[in-house]
Amino acid sequence: MRIGIGYDIHALVNDRDLVLGGVTIPFEKGLMGHSDADVLIHAICDALLGAAGKGDIGIHFPDNDPGYKGISSLKLLAATMDILHLARYDVINIDCTLFAQAPKLAPFRQSMETIIADTIDLDPNRINIKATTTERLGV
């Protein structure tokens, strides 16, 4: 068994949707990025690629490639799973923590878990998403 750790952070900006775990969350700001900037999915991709010894999201889906401009990060997750399957790896479970002062993310957890499970063909009970505030540290 191999374990991967993923991490991602993007700046909050105006005039962007806030997409986390494949769910568009009502909020006055969104995350800046080349793709849809879904930091949860990006962190999961990095964790999976790291566990398999296959680099990171930037190697496979570079932010200077126009083909990934505005892409749904769920497509990147599906492509990550293709990389893992070619290398004969399976995912056992995923556990993630989101840090955000606002908005409150708990109401969206189950939807995120279901969307991720559907994308990678994993039992939703094997996916756990936690959300916590940053205690006003500015993150």
Local confidence band at 52 (pLDDT 50, 70, 90 cut-offs): very high
CA distances from 98 to 61, 70, 101, 108 (A): 22, 22, 10, 12
Instruction: Name 9's Cβ contacts closer than 8 Å, sequence gap at least 6.
Output: 39, 139
Segments making up each domain of the chain, as ranges = 12-132
Is the domain spanning 12-132 CATH 3.40.47.10? The answer is: no
Residue 92: other Cβ atoms inside 10 A? 11
- pLDDT, one tens digit per residue, over 68-105 is 999 999 999 999 999 999 999 999 999 999 999 889 99
- pLDDT, one tens digit per residue, over 113-127 is 999 999 999 999 999
Going by C-alpha positions, the residue among 74, 80, 93, 25 that lies closest to residue 54 is 80
